[in-house]
C-alpha cells in the first residue's frame, strides 16, 4: 500500500508547487496580507500592550488553514471529478483510503509550510513571541486542518462543477472571514451575530491560537477550543458519511 500512497502524495505535492496560480493564492497572498496589514496598523483593537501584528498573526494562520482546506480540496476534487480523472483512477485497484489519505496528507504538509513561513515572519520580522503552549498550538492547527479539509471534501460532494462549488465556497469564506475573529474581534457585534461567531470552527481555531500566541495559556486552558473543533470534526464526519462518494452510479 505504501508505494501507491507515497506516489500519490508526491503527485499531489508536485501539482501544488507546479501550479503558480495556486502558489500565489496559497503562499504569497497570506504572507503579503500579513505583512501589509501589520505594517500599517498600530495596536490590537482594545489593547495598548498588544500590537496589531501580534493580534493578526494567529488570525492569518487560521484564515490560511481555512482557505487551504476549503478552496484547495473542494475545487481540486470538483475539477478532477468533472474532467473524469477520478473515474480513470477508480478503474485501478486504488482504494478510497489511499486516494483521500494522500490528498489530505499533501495538504497538511502545504499548511505546515504556509504556517511555518508566516510564523517565521512574525517571530523574526515583527519580533512576536509565543508564550503559550506549543503543543496546544500544534493540536489546534491539526484539528483545524482536519475540519476544514473535511468541509472542503463535503463541498466537493455537493458540487459537480466549478459553477456549483463557487457560491458555496464564497459564502463559507465570507462567513468565516467576517465572523471568525480573524482581523478583528466580534465582541461588539449584535448578540445574534456574536453568538454565531463564537460557535464557528474558525473562531475556535483563531481564538485558541491567539490565547497561546499573546498570553501564556496552557494546554488545559486551550481544551474548550480543542473540544469545539472536535465537535465540528464530528459534525463533518457525519455529513461526509451520508454525502461523500467519489463515483457516480
Does 192 contact other proteins by CB under 8 A?
no
3-state secondary structure the chain: CHHHHHHHHHHHHHHHHHCHHHHHHHHHHHHHHHHHHHHHCCECCCCCCCEHHHHHHHHHHHHHHHHHHHHHHHHHHHHHHHHCHHHHHHCCCCCHHHHHHHHHHHHHHHHHHHHHHHHHHHHHHCCCCCCCCHHHHHHHHHHHHHHHHHHHHHHHHHCCCHHHHHHHHHHHHHHHHHHCCCCCCCCCCCHHHHHHHHHCHHHHHHHHHHHHHHCCCCHHHHHHHHHHHHHHHHHHHHHHHHHCCCCCC
**At closest approach, how far in Å is the CB of 247 from other proteins?**
6
Does 96 contact other proteins by CB under 8 A?
no
Does 91 contact other proteins by CB under 8 A?
yes
**Distance between the two ends of the chain, CA-based, in angstroms?**
26
Region binding other proteins by CB under 8 A among candidate stretches 66-74, 86-94, 157-165, 223-231: 86-94
- The rounded distance, in Å, linking the Cα atoms of 205 and 63 is 9
**At closest approach, how far in Å is the CB of 111 from other proteins?**
20
Question: Residues 6, 32, 97, 195: which binds other proteins (CB under 8 A)?
Answer: 6
Region binding other proteins by CB under 8 A among candidate stretches 49-57, 78-86, 170-178, 192-200: 78-86
Question: Residues 88, 127, 160, 245: which binds other proteins (CB under 8 A)?
Answer: 88
Does 89 contact other proteins by CB under 8 A?
yes
Does 83 contact other proteins by CB under 8 A?
yes
Does 78 contact other proteins by CB under 8 A?
no
Question: Residues 92, 188, 191, 241: which binds other proteins (CB under 8 A)?
Answer: 92
**At closest approach, how far in Å is the CB of 29 from other proteins?**
20
Question: Residues 21, 40, 49, 93: which binds other proteins (CB under 8 A)?
Answer: 93
In sequence order, which residues have a C-beta less than 8 Å from that of residue 60 and are 6 or more positions away? 30, 33, 34, 118, 182
Does 11 contact other proteins by CB under 8 A?
yes
Does 245 contact other proteins by CB under 8 A?
no
> Residue 85 or 171: which CB sits closer to other proteins?
85
Does 249 contact other proteins by CB under 8 A?
yes
Distances (CA, A) of 216 to 130, 210, 222: 8, 10, 11
Does 4 contact other proteins by CB under 8 A?
yes
Does 25 contact other proteins by CB under 8 A?
no
Q: Which residues bind other proteins (CB under 8 A)?
A: 1, 3-4, 6-8, 11, 14-15, 18-19, 80, 83-85, 87-95, 247, 249
Amino acid at each position: 500500500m505504501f508505494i501507491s500512497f507515497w506516489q500519490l502524495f508526491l503527485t499531489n505535492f508536485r501539482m501544488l508547487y507546479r501550479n503558480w496560480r495556486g502558489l500565489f493564492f496559497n503562499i504569497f497572498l497570506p504572507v503579503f496580507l500579513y505583512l501589509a496589514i501589520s505594517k500599517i496598523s498600530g495596536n490590537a483593537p482594545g489593547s495598548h500592550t498588544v500590537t496589531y501584528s501580534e493580534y493578526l498573526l494567529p488570525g492569518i494562520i487560521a484564515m490560511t488553514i481555512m482557505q487551504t482546506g476549503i478552496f484547495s480540496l473542494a475545487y481540486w476534487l470538483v475539477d478532477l471529478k468533472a474532467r473524469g480523472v477520478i473515474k480513470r483512477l477508480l478503474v485501478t485497484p486504488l482504494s478510497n483510503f489511499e486516494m483521500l489519505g494522500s490528498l489530505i496528507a499533501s495538504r497538511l504538509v502545504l499548511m505546515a509550510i504556509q504556517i511555518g513561513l508566516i510564523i517565521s515572519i512574525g517571530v523574526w520580522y515583527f519580533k512576536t513571541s509565543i508564550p503559550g503552549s506549543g503543543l496546544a498550538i500544534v493540536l489546534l492547527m491539526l484539528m483545524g486542518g482536519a475540519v476544514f479539509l473535511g468541509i472542503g471534501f463535503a463541498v466537493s460532494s455537493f458540487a459537480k462543477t466549478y459553477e456549483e462549488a463557487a457560491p458555496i465556497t464564497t459564502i463559507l469564506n465570507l462567513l468565516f472571514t467576517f465572523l471568525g475573529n480573524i482581523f478583528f474581534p466580534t465582541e461588539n457585534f449584535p448578540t445574534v451575530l456574536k453568538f454565531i461567531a463564537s460557535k464557528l470552527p474558525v473562531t475556535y481555531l483563531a481564538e485558541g491560537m491567539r490565547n497561546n500566541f499573546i498570553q501564556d495559556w496552557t494546554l488545559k486552558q486551550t481544551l474548550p477550543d480543542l473540544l469545539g473543533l472536535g465537535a465540528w470534526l464530528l459534525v463533518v464526519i457525519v455529513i461526509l458519511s451520508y454525502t461523500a462518494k467519489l463515483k457516480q452510479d
